Homo-oligomer: A and B are copies of this chain.
Amino acid sequence: MEVLIVGAGGMARGIGLRLVRGGHQVRIAHREPDKAADLAAELGDNASGEPLDSAAGAQVVILALPYEGSKEIAEVWADRLAGKIIVDISNPVDYETFDRLVTPPGKSATDEIAEAAPGAKVVKAFNTTFASRLATTGKLDVFIAGDDGDARKQIASLCTDADLRPIDVGGRKHAATLEAMQLLHMKVQGEINGNWSTALTFAP
Contacts and interface: CB of A to CB of B under 8 A. Distances in A.
A167 B183 contact: no
Q: Which of A99, A167, A185, A203 has the most CB of B within 10 A?
A: A203
Interface of A: 99, 105-106, 143, 165, 167-171, 174, 176-177, 180-181, 183-185, 187-188, 191-192, 194, 197-204
Select the residue from A165, A169, A198 with max chain B CB neighbours within 10 A.
A169
Nearest to A195: B204
Contacts of A201: 200-203
A194 B202 CA distance: 8
A48 to B, nearest CB: 34
Contact of A185 (B171, B176, B184, B202): B202
Nearest to A165: B192
Identical subunits present: 2
A33 B97 CA distance: 48
A204 B138 CA distance: 11
A99 B167 contact: no
Majority-rule SS of A interface residues = mixed
A51 to B, nearest CB: 38
Contacts of A177: 177, 180-181, 183-184
Contacts of A168: 188, 191
Given A171-B99, A177-B180, A198 B187 contact: no
A30 to B, nearest CB: 31
Contact of A167 (B143, B174, B176, B191): B191
B191 A198 contact: no
> Could you say which of A177, A192, A204 has the most chain B C-beta atoms within 10 Å of its C-beta?
A177
A82 to B, nearest CB: 28
A106 B107 CA distance: 12
